[in-house]
Structure 1
Amino acid sequence: MLIAHSISDLRALLAPYRSPAFVATMGNLHDGHLALLRSARGLGDVSVASIFVNRLQFLPHEDFDSYPRTWEQDCARLEEGGCDILFAPREADLYPEAQTFKVLPDPALADILEGHFRPGFFTGVCTVVLKLFNCVQPRFALFGQKDYQQQMVVRRMVRQLALPVEIVTGQTERAEDGLALSSRNGYLDAAARAEAVQLPLALRALGDAVRGGRRDLDALEAEAARSLAARGWQPDYLTVRRRADLLPPQPGHADDWHSLVVLGAARLGATRLIDNLEI
């Protein structure tokens, strides 16, 4: 595996290739990242991963400084996974001056759910993703379905800016008990880790209720939130939305449950977890 820290070095390494397949990460890698890398190796003529903890997508009170940096472990995992090129820019490499030009995503998609509870988050995501795309110039870019809204925002950005990148969504990788793999799972102690599976269980119960014919979505969502809160969680949202645009189903349209997705975000202690399940 070759490693580039500067944009010029990266472009020199990529010069012989025509269709890079790219996986952007913030490091602290897990098997979900490696599954995306395996898919990338089957798509392009060179597989590229990036490790960059992007300050722009963290709110002032969030965990930018404490976000786990596991460089040696990440490099070993990427090399074992067959990554061809790792792009690991320093902050001064990717942001050599204050990033005053930013990508403002469509608020209809980016200011709801995650964007409501983390205002400005998707501006930070889109800005760094566009910049990474300009550095790597991938033919394919792979994102995990666990970050459901994020991959939708990126996909819409690519479409509206006519970027020559095909966005590929990889299925959520889960632990044996059903918990979605996430870098932030490492914050959980043993008791919290055992409790964390209640989030996907709550989403599954919510989806099952809709699949079973219940259409009082507001009541269902409130019940799901109360159930988690009773266990000590602090829910931000547990909600049923349309897959197409993440808006609530229109009255009379919830019967088409095949077009819906259940999404949730909740804090367990100091750790905020997200997940989703397509119904």
Structure 2
Amino acid sequence: MKIVESIVELQAYLDLQRLKGKAVGLVPTMGALHQGHLELIHASVHACDLTVCSIFVNPTQFNNPDDLLKYPKQLETDQQLLSKAGCDVVFVPTVAEMYPDQTESLSMSFGVLEHVLEGEFRPGHFSGVGVVVSKLLNIVQPQVAFFGQKDLQQLAVIRKMVRDLNIRTKIVAVPTVREPSGLAMSSRNLRLSEIEKEIAAHLYKTMQGLKDRVCFGDNVPVAIAQSKDLLAQVDGLQLEYLEVVDSATMQVVSDLSAADSISICAAAHVGEVRIIDNMYIKQTD
């Protein structure tokens, strides 16, 4: 497995591999890898001739400086996991390599997508995501890039960006990987105690109950309100949002006939850790 820190070196190597006819897959990450990330790697290894994994904690997508400082880092362990998973290239740039001119920063706007749910609670987050992902897609120029369903709104943002900018990379979503309790795997889970993980798992269980109810025919707004009441009774969990939305636009829906793809999206704080999760109610892709 090749480890690269320089953009120039990475591009030269990938240009050579493409001349050999190899299809390149990209898995962008911020490190602190878990089984969910490895499923992305496995998907790329299966679909592509050469897999690149980027590890870069992108400062421009953190609206909370403390969250950036506390984001877990375990580069040596990550590299061992990637090697075992069959990754071919690990791209580990510095902030200066990715953002050489830090006196001015690019920004992106995604319309209504960046003002609801995650966008409401994390202003500027999706601009940072859009900039860094567009840079990675331009640097690597993969045929396919793989993203986890756990960050469903991020996935919608990236798909919109790829369409609007006519980027030729195919975006593939990989289903969320969960712990036995149902808690969605996340790098931030490393900051949760075992008791806090049990508390956090209530979010998934409540979402599952909400899905069962609305699929059975219960009124969506009423079912959401009752689910919020259930979560309000969980000591140690502070809900930020719980909504049923159009999976493409993240706009709230009150009827399952309102869109072809509909999801439950949620976010909550457990201790000092913010967790997000989602679940498809119906899906078209």
TM-score w.r.t. structure 2 length? 0.92
User: What is the number of equivalent residue pairs in this alignment?
Assistant: 276
CA contact (8 A) 1:210 1:257 kept: no
Moved segments of 4+, more than 4 Å: 255-258
Distance 2:149 2:103 in 1: 28
Letter in 2 for 1:261: S
Q: Deviations over 1:64-97 (max 9, x none)?
A: 1111110110000000111100000011111111
Query: Which residue of structure 2 aligns with residue 223 of structure 1?
Result: 226
- Within a 5 Å distance, the mapping from 1:44-55 to structure 2 comes to 44-55=48-59
- Within a 5 Å distance, the mapping from 1:79-228 to structure 2 comes to 79-98=83-102, 100-215=104-219, 217-228=220-231
Query: Which residue of structure 2 aligns with residue 6 of structure 1?
Result: 6
For residue 256 of structure 1, report the CA deviation from its aligned partner.
6.5
For residue 54 of structure 1, report the CA deviation from its aligned partner.
0.4
Q: Deviations over 1:180-202 (max 9, x none)?
A: 11101111111111222111001
CA contact (8 A) 1:21 1:142 kept: yes
Distance 1:99 1:123 in 2: 17
For residue 204 of structure 1, report the CA deviation from its aligned partner.
0.7
CA contact (8 A) 1:17 1:45 kept: no
Distance 2:248 2:65 in 1: 32
SS where residue 197 of structure 1 aligns? helix
Mapped pair 1:74 → 2:78: yes
Letter in 1 for 2:51: S
Letter in 2 for 1:15: D
Gaps of 5+ in 1: none
For residue 62 of structure 1, report the CA deviation from its aligned partner.
4.0
CA contact (8 A) 1:211 1:257 kept: no
For residue 176 of structure 1, report the CA deviation from its aligned partner.
1.7
For residue 49 of structure 1, report the CA deviation from its aligned partner.
0.1
For residue 44 of structure 1, report the CA deviation from its aligned partner.
2.1
CA contact (8 A) 2:210 2:227 kept: yes
CA contact (8 A) 2:148 2:174 kept: yes
Distance 1:72 1:205, change over 3 A: same
For residue 45 of structure 1, report the CA deviation from its aligned partner.
2.1
For residue 101 of structure 1, report the CA deviation from its aligned partner.
4.6
TM-score w.r.t. structure 1 length? 0.94
Aligned pair partner of 1:262 in 261, 264, 279: 264
Percent identity of paired positions between Structure 1 and Structure 2: 39
CA contact (8 A) 1:21 1:44 kept: yes
